[in-house]
Amino acid sequence: MADPDVNMILRAYDQLCPLHLGDVPTPGVRLKIDRHSPLTLVFPDGVDVAEVSFNRYVGGYAKGDDSLVGMPAFILRGFRHRNFFVRAGSPLRKLSDLKGKCVGTNSWPDTGTMWARIAMVDAGVNISDVRWAIGTLDEKTPNKPPSPNDAQPPKDARFLSGSENLLKEMAEGRIDCVTTAKAPAEVFKKGGAIRRLVEDYPEVEADYHRRTGVYPGFHVIAVRRSFARKHPRAAMTIYEAMQRSWAIWEDKVKWFAEDSPWAMKEMELLCNEFRDDAVFGMESKANQRMVETICREQHAQGLVPKAADPKALFADFEALRRTAT
């Protein structure tokens, strides 16, 4: 049988550049990677493997969507305490200060936004304790197209009109804070008009990690189910190639670590404090806690009518791995 052609959508993260560059072999698979197409649960024709939103994948699974087989490849992770932004002169300094305030966001169903709300709740601010505004971030940043099974914001949320945007509303005082994935450019300017709400976010996020044992996951890899059934070995080859790419990147950083002044310190922190937060697989207790949290919180936030079973979420992947052995 001829090696299958496999089209994959995958962003060019540093850790996966060895795979993008062809430095990682994929025996038995003619792999072509598209790093430009937007992420979606509705795979375009001809695409068999893709990076997807973890929140949207789990939400679809909870609602009975079995078109994809999710792989426990948590290729994009992070904390979201850092992703709340206020005016430079705002009196707000911590997440608990948001109670009773107006908070804007440009995507309610995003995984990162869900984790941001988890951070708020952890700080004592329930979703109903704030007034929500939904709209585009600014004049240049369009919102993502909707995906199937997207959850809707609270019924009393304010939707901005076409001439309005979140950063303008915040600058004019009608919104107190904005939570979004990409930090506004002003945050990186000395004396900029926007700052992070939680300015000591490394300490706050480290405390969250110590208390909860959770390192949030944003994106995973999913395979079209029909492809996985037909080519289980090819699917596992791609999974294993991503693992190899990650290992190559890690070795490079440990050797050079010149990307920033303290990159070596960051790698040491990763190795010492986050070793159980494995990028791949569900064997670690830390990953199990993180997956349990996202399943529980989706239901708690009203994103799904019934919580997904965290123990069943990647059962099809484990069956795929056994078939491919």
Please tell me whether residues 176 and 89 are part of one structural domain.
Answer: yes
State phi, psi for 14 to the nearest 5 degrees: -55, -40
pLDDT for residue 1: 62
Average pLDDT for residues 33-45, to the nearest whole number?
93
Q: Which residues contact 15 (CB under 8 A, 6 or more apart)?
A: 75, 245, 246, 249, 250, 279
pLDDT at 3: 87
| Tens of pLDDT, residues 218-273 | 999 999 999 999 999 999 999 999 999 999 999 999 999 888 999 999 999 999 99
Is the CB of residue 115 less than 8 Å from the CB of residue 144?
Answer: no
Q: Is the pTM of this model over 0.85?
A: yes
Same-domain status, 244 and 302: yes
Percent of the chain whose predicted confidence (pLDDT) is above 90: 89
The whole-chain average pLDDT of the chain stands at: 95
Whether residues 246 and 276 fall in one domain: yes
Same domain, 25 and 134: no
Residue numbers of the domain that contains 297: 5-78+216-324
Q: Is 62 within 8 Å of 304 (Cβ atoms)? A: yes
Residue 148 has pLDDT above 80, yes or no: no
Query: Between 220 and 275, where is the model more confident?
Result: 220
Domain boundary among 159, 189, 212: 212
Q: Do both 95 and 197 map to the same domain?
A: yes
Residue 146 has pLDDT above 80, yes or no: no
Query: Which residue among 212, 246, 281 closes a domain?
Result: 212
Gap between the Cα atoms of 276 and 213, Å rounded:
10
> What is the domain-level CATH number for residue 61?
3.40.190.10
The arithmetic mean of pLDDT across residues 200-210, rounded, is 97
Mark whether 284 and 245 lie in a shared domain: yes
Together in a domain, 132 and 168: yes
| pLDDT of res. 81 | 98
Residue 308 makes CB contacts below 8 A (sequence gap 6+) with 58, 59, 61, 62, 295, 298
Do residue 123 and residue 174 come from a single domain? Answer: yes
Please check whether residues 206 and 222 belong to one and the same domain.
no
Q: Are residues 164 and 310 in the same domain?
A: no
Q: Are residues 94 and 198 located together in one domain of the fold?
A: yes
6, 48 Cβ separation under 8 angstroms: yes
Domain end position, chosen among 212, 241, 265: 212
Q: Number of folded domains in the chain?
A: 2
Is residue 243 located within the same domain as residue 259?
yes
pLDDT tens digits, one per residue of 276-320: 999 999 999 999 999 999 999 999 999 999 999 999 999 999 999
